[in-house]
């Protein structure tokens, strides 16, 4: 299949492709999503196929606005408050499916609750408005690989496997949305992301973090091996060797063959926006030069640092196949 390169001028065509059941990668403020009509199970199945996902993880449904989102899930006062404050933006809410919700069960992995969000990106919102319904979209990468933050990243993994990529520039936030489960008695963070836990807590009070136990992922997408560059990642590096690529945060450690700076001034927002770009660059260039590791410098564990460390820990964890056996 030829993958069409679309620009923000091609919104009508992009929406028509979605209506026809085709897959379109599109930029959001967080990462590029691989979108399909959420109500068309065949189209949704094509997402899993293109990604090569080993299991049917539930997908996030994207909407043009909160009013549209709340037609597909059962709203709560908390959900309305958070939607008013953070949408459009990098927050995903998990809520019980509305009665007769037409979203395919495959998109929701058969679960009683559905993840919904309104992305904070002009082009994405235009596409969603033009399409007029829910667009299921996981990050537009092959399963177990890093999330793409540019159209070029998308094409490097999915060229020839999807109908089109809508190039809307690099992603400003650079890491995925925060996933907050509001379907139970208490709100639970399933995945740290672009909205910090502190910002959420400022609105609604203390929130439970999902268990950090890697053997019992709170959300099926939270498998430890989810965000994996090819080169092994070494965390909290305090020195760097001549055969290593360094992911620097602040003044770089001396001695590495290759350095990618997340943030010279140790700004966590900037580091978050550059994280996947850094891992992509070090992985590709490091492999070319025969380097052995990506050595990642320590990033403090507060604010967006929590989400950065979540991604880095996954990138550094041993790779498992679905039976749980180590494959590297
Ligand atoms: O920023 C983002 O969220 C990006 C952009 C494209 O919107 N999307 C994204 O999708 O990261 P994906 O599929 O890579 O991750 C979705 C996360 C997974 O951890 C998944 O398990 C969780 O959301 N999730 C989705 N639906 C869920 C549900 N019904 N219950 C619990 N967790 C759910
Ligand atoms: Mg993903």
Does one domain contain both 167 and 92? yes
| Shortest-distance atom of ligand 1 to CA 34 | 6
- Is residue 298 in a domain? yes
* 182 Cβ inside 6 Å of ligand 1: no
> How much distance in Å is there from the Cα of 285 to the middle of ligand 1?
29
pLDDT-derived band at 270 (thresholds 50, 70, 90) equals confident
Quick: pLDDT tens for 195-232.
Answer: 999 999 999 999 987 655 444 444 444 443 344 688 99
Ligand 1 pocket: which of 48, 139, 165 to mutate (most atoms <8 Å of CB)? 139
- The better pLDDT of the pair 262, 273 is held by 262
| CATH number of the domain within which 270 lies | 3.40.50.11030
Does one domain contain both 194 and 249? no
* 146 Cβ inside 6 Å of ligand 1: no
Residue 168 has pLDDT above 70, yes or no: yes
Give the residue, by CA position, lying nearest to ligand 1 atom 18.
221
pLDDT-derived band at 55 (thresholds 50, 70, 90) equals low
Of 171, 198, 223, the residue at which a domain comes to its end is 223
> How much distance in Å is there from the Cα of 18 to the middle of ligand 2?
20
Does one domain contain both 56 and 136? yes
Give the residue, by CA position, lying nearest to ligand 1 atom 3.
177
Burial class (CB in 10 A: 0-12, 13-18, 19+), 86: buried
280-294 average pLDDT score: 95
Quick: pLDDT tens for 124-140.
Answer: 999 999 999 999 999 99
| CATH number of the domain within which 94 lies | 3.90.870.10
Cα dihedral value 219, 225, 227, 231, nearest 10: 170
Does one domain contain both 146 and 19? yes
Measured distance CA(272)–CA(185) in Å, rounded: 31
pLDDT-derived band at 303 (thresholds 50, 70, 90) equals confident
Give the residue, by CA position, lying nearest to ligand 1 atom 32.
219
Closest by CA position to 104, among listed 162, 195, 38: 38
Measured distance CA(328)–CA(326) in Å, rounded: 6
Does one domain contain both 203 and 295? no
| Domain that includes residue 15, residue range | 4-223
The angle subtended at Cα 60 by Cα 55 and Cα 63, nearest 5°, is: 155
The angle subtended at Cα 34 by Cα 44 and Cα 39, nearest 5°, is: 30
Question: Which sign, positive or negative, has the C-alpha torsion 26, 145, 41, 5?
Answer: positive
Which ligand has its closest atom nearest to the C-alpha of 29?
Answer: 1
| Shortest-distance atom of ligand 1 to CA 176 | 1
Give Cβ neighbours of residue 178 (< 8 Å, ≥ 6 apart): 90, 91, 92, 189, 191, 192, 193, 194, 195, 196, 197, 200, 307
Of 166, 191, 223, the residue at which a domain comes to its end is 223
> How much distance in Å is there from the Cα of 242 to the middle of ligand 2?
32
> How much distance in Å is there from the Cα of 76 to the middle of ligand 2?
27
Number of domains forming the structure of the chain: 2
Give the residue, by CA position, lying nearest to ligand 1 atom 20.
221
Which ligand has its closest atom nearest to the C-alpha of 105?
Answer: 1
Quick: pLDDT tens for 56-108.
Answer: 678 999 999 999 999 999 999 999 999 999 999 999 999 999 999 999 888 88
Tokens matching residue 252: 């770089």
Question: How much is the pTM?
Answer: 0.82
- Is residue 325 in a domain? no
> How much distance in Å is there from the Cα of 208 to the middle of ligand 1?
18
* 120 Cβ inside 6 Å of ligand 1: no
Q: What is the DSSP letter of 211?
A: P
């Amino acid at each position: 299949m030829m993958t069409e390169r679309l620009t923000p001028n091609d919104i009508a065509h992009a929406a028509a492709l979605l209506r026809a059941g085709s897959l379109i990668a599109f930029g959001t403020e967080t990462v590029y999503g691989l979108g399909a009509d959420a109500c068309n199970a065949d189209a949704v199945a094509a997402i899993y196929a293109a990604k090569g996902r080993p299991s049917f993880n539930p997908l996030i449904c994207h909407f043009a606005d909160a009013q549209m989102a709340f037609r597909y899930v059962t709203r709560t006062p908390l959900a309305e408050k958070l939607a008013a404050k953070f949408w459009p933006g990098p927050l995903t809410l998990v809520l019980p499916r509305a009665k007769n919700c037409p979203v395919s069960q495959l998109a929701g992995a058969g679960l009683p609750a559905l993840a919904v969000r309104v992305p904070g990106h002009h082009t994405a919102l235009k596409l969603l408005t033009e399409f007029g319904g829910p667009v299921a979209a996981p990050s537009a990468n092959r399963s177990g690989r890093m999330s793409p933050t540019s159209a070029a990243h998308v094409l490097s993994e999915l060229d020839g496997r999807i109908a089109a990529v809508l190039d809307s520039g690099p992603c400003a936030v650079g890491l995925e949305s925060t996933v907050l489960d509001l379907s139970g008695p208490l709100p639970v963070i399933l995945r740290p992301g672009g909205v910090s836990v502190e910002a959420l807590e400022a609105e609604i009070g203390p929130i439970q973090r999902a268990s950090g136990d890697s053997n019992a992922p709170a959300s099926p997408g939270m498998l430890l091996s989810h965000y994996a560059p090819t080169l092994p990642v070494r965390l909290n590096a305090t020195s760097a060797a001549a055969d290593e690529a360094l992911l620097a945060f602040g003044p770089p450690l001396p001695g590495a063959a290759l350095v990618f700076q997340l943030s010279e001034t140790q700004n966590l927002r900037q580091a978050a926006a550059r994280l996947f770009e850094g891992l992509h660059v070090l992985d590709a260039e490091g492999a070319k030069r025969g380097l052995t590791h990506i050595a990642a410098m320590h990033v403090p564990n507060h604010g967006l640092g929590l989400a950065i460390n979540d991604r880095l820990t996954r990138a550094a964890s041993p790779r498992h196949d679905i039976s749980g056996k180590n494959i590297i």
